[in-house]
Structures are given as structure tokens and as C-alpha cells.
Amino acid sequence: MGKKVTVVGAGFYGSTTAQRLAEYDVFETVVLTDIIEGKPAGLALDLNQSRPIEGFETKVVGVTTGAGGEGYEAIEGSDLVVITAGLPRKPGMSRMDLLEVNAKIVRGVAENVAKYAPNAVVIVVSNPLDEMTALAQAATGFPRHRVLGQAGVLDTARFTHFVADELGVPVRSVKTLTLGSHGDTMVPVPSQCTVDGKPLSDVMPAAKIEEIVTRTRNGGAEVVALLKTGSAYYAPSAAAARMARAIAEDSGEVWPVCAWVDGEYGISGVYLGVLAELGATGVRRVVETPLTDSELAALKEAAEAVRSKQSDVAGL
Ligand code: APR
């Protein structure tokens, strides 16, 4: 049997994620769900009609789900579930402003995922990301390695794009890294960044690196301010789909993701942005990377900032 992946939420993030997953042509089925009547079915029909042109065989199935869990039978047997349900930001909002409303949505979705796809690996992308990942794990009751969040792949891609653009080099010659939270305590890690294998600090002045680090930290808000009606989805969906593919293919690739940290970096008991090896079981292991003293201090600060907020979501 081929692999089955479900994307919950057929808004901008969910529909573009479903498209990318289908176009990879490695899944047998992509299920796309939403609470809006007809929308997921319409998008699925449209995506399926692109198959002869794009040349993929994956079938997309669109399903409207009800408040009582109606329709969720369609996700049965999913190897993976990507949760994109929830409101996006408007200009001037922080991701934390979405906490209460998205907590209710993500909890409801997670409970249905636990019921209908009890063996799935869950990738959470709804914001605020670190809190929603912790909440989804609590609400599903899944082992922590089977619930992870998407943030670092996106934040790192933004960082890489800015560096490549500034230097006028191909994105493939740039390697960057961000750890920490998907928010104010994001920890860009310049000491691990390279351009054609050379340290970033050798090819870019410190002030420019700092400017790019700040722009990366505000990367989502910059797009929200321009769009005015929602948040980014092309780069975010590329990130989520890539993680889903690594897990579906049991690839062992190492990506920065929001994962449960249990002793690594001297930090325990919190979902945090770290490097992790991905495979069929979700997070195979957290991979520690060398950090400078100030980067490690910033990572510990990020862990404490999200720890208290993650314990708060248990009551939402
Ligand atoms: N089950 C399924 N879908 C839901 C539910 C639910 N319980 N509640 C809301 N949705 C759907 C909405 O109907 C909408 O179609 O989630 C979709 C969200 O889509 P958009 O408003 O377009 O938002 P999007 O840009 O996709 O962002 C989704 O990702 O990046 C984060 O902050 C962002 O939390 C937001 C999420």
C-alpha cells in the first residue's frame, strides 16, 4: 500500500501544502480537509485535474468535516497528518495573539486525529507554533517523537534566501541555521552559517549579518504586513511538505524542526526548535550542533520562554 498523508485545513497554507505533496508523486493519497462545506472537495477536484499536466498519479481527496468529527473517517490509515487549521495573523498581530482561538481549533483537530489516525506522525504548523505543537501532543496522547512542528525549515530558508540575495550567490551555496522558538526568541545561529563552505563571518560584515538575523526573526511579519489579509504560505508549505516527505520516505535527513527536547543542550521537557533526524517514526533523534556561548545562552532563554507558555496551553 502506498503512503497516505492528510492535510487538515484547506486555507492558503493547507492547499499549497497539499499541492506540493501531490506534485512530489510519492504518496498514493493526499486527503485535504476543512470545515468549510465544499471547499476541500473543490480544491481536490482542481488539483486532480492538474495531474495530466504536472504528471503525477497521487490522488487528492477533499473532505468537509463537522464539529462532531463527521467526515474524519476519510483520514483513517494516514501515515502522516499535517495540521494547518487555525487563523493566520493580520498586520500588527503577533503569533501569540492567535493562542486562544487556535488552541481550541487545534485541540479539536488533534482529538479526531488520535481517534481516526492513531498511528500517524503529526506535523503541526498552526501558530503560535511551539505552543500548538505541545498542545497537539497532549491532545493526541501520541509519543512525543511522533508529534513535531514546522518552523526551523522555514526560518532557515528565509535566512538562506536573505544571505544569498545580499551576496548575489546561488541559494544552494549558502547554509544557515535557526534554532529556538518560532517567534521573538528565534535563535539564528551565524556560527553555523557558511557560504561555499566558508564561514559567513568571513564573507559578510558583522553589521550586515545582524541586519539579516533581525529580518529573519521578523520574516513572517514582513510578509503579513505586505499581504494585509493573511500570512505567508509558499515558503511555509514548502517547508511542511519537505518534512512530510522526509518522514514518509524514512530518509534520516536532518532538518531544524520543533521537537521535544530531553536533555540535549542541557535543556529538558520542552518543545523547541532544534536539529532533528527525521524518519518513519517522526523524530528519530535530536541532533546537537556546536554553539557559541551566546548562542547556547539564547537557546536556553528561548526554552524558558516557551516552557511557561507551553504549560499554559494545557488549560486552553
Ligand atoms: N478543522 C479544519 N479546518 C479548520 C478548522 C477545523 N476545526 N478551523 C478552521 N479551519 C480552516 C479554515 O476554515 C481555513 O480554511 O483552516 C483554514 C485556515 O486557512 P487560512 O485562513 O487561509 O490560513 P493559512 O494561511 O492557511 O494559515 C493557517 O498556519 O501559518 C499558520 O498562523 C497560520 O495558524 C495559521 C495556519
Atom of ligand 1 nearest to the CA of 15: 26
Hey, whose CA ends up nearest to atom 32 of ligand 1? 88
pLDDT value at position 193? Answer: 98
Residues 199, 114, single domain; the answer is no
pLDDT value at position 314? Answer: 74
Q: List the Cα angle 214/269/99 in 5-degree steps.
A: 55
Instruction: Using pLDDT thresholds of 50, 70 and 90, give the confidence band for residue 96.
Output: confident
Task: Provide the total of helices (H) and of strands (E) in the chain, helices listed first.
Answer: 11, 14
Q: Confirm whether 161 is a catalytic residue.
A: no
pLDDT value at position 316? Answer: 78
3-state secondary structure of 90: coil
Instruction: Using pLDDT thresholds of 50, 70 and 90, give the confidence band for residue 42.
Output: very high
Residues 57, 178, single domain; the answer is no
224-260 burial by CB neighbour count: b if 16+ within 10 A, else e? beebeeebbbebbbbbbbbbbbbbbeeeeebbbbbbb
Does 17 contact ligand 1 (Cβ within 6 A)? no
Residues 125, 160, single domain; the answer is no
Hey, whose CA ends up nearest to atom 7 of ligand 1? 105
Per-residue pLDDT of 264-309, as tens digits, reads: 999 999 999 999 999 999 999 999 999 999 999 999 999 999 998 8
Closest CA to 299 of 256, 253, 255: 256
Q: How far is the CA of 149 from the centre of ligand 1 (A)?
A: 15
Residues 210, 262, single domain; the answer is yes
Q: Read off the amino acid at residue 7.
A: V
| Boundaries of domain holding 261 | 152-313
Instruction: Using pLDDT thresholds of 50, 70 and 90, give the confidence band for residue 61.
Output: very high
The Cα 148–Cα 255 span in angstroms is: 12
Q: How far is the CA of 208 from the centre of ligand 1 (A)?
A: 35
The yes-or-no verdict on residue 167 having pLDDT over 80 is yes
Does 85 contact ligand 1 (Cβ within 6 A)? yes
Does 236 contact ligand 1 (Cβ within 6 A)? yes
Does 125 contact ligand 1 (Cβ within 6 A)? yes
Instruction: Indicate which residue of 39, 182, 217, 242 is catalytic.
Output: 182
Q: What is the CATH number of the domain that holds 95?
A: 3.40.50.720
16/308: higher pLDDT: 16
**What mean pLDDT is reported for the chain?**
96
Residues 187, 120, single domain; the answer is no
Query: What is the arithmetic mean of pLDDT over 146-161?
Result: 97
pLDDT value at position 127? Answer: 95
DSSP secondary structure letters along 299-310: HHHHHHHHHHHH
Does 237 contact ligand 1 (Cβ within 6 A)? no
As for how many domains the chain has, the answer is 2
Q: How far is the CA of 34 from the centre of ligand 1 (A)?
A: 8
User: Could you say which of 149, 180, 209 is where a domain stops?
Assistant: 149
SS in 3 state form for 141-196? CCCHHHEEECCHHHHHHHHHHHHHHHHCCCHHHEECCEEECCCCCEEECHHHCEEC
The yes-or-no verdict on residue 239 having pLDDT over 90 is yes
- Sign of the CA dihedral 288, 292, 298, 304? positive
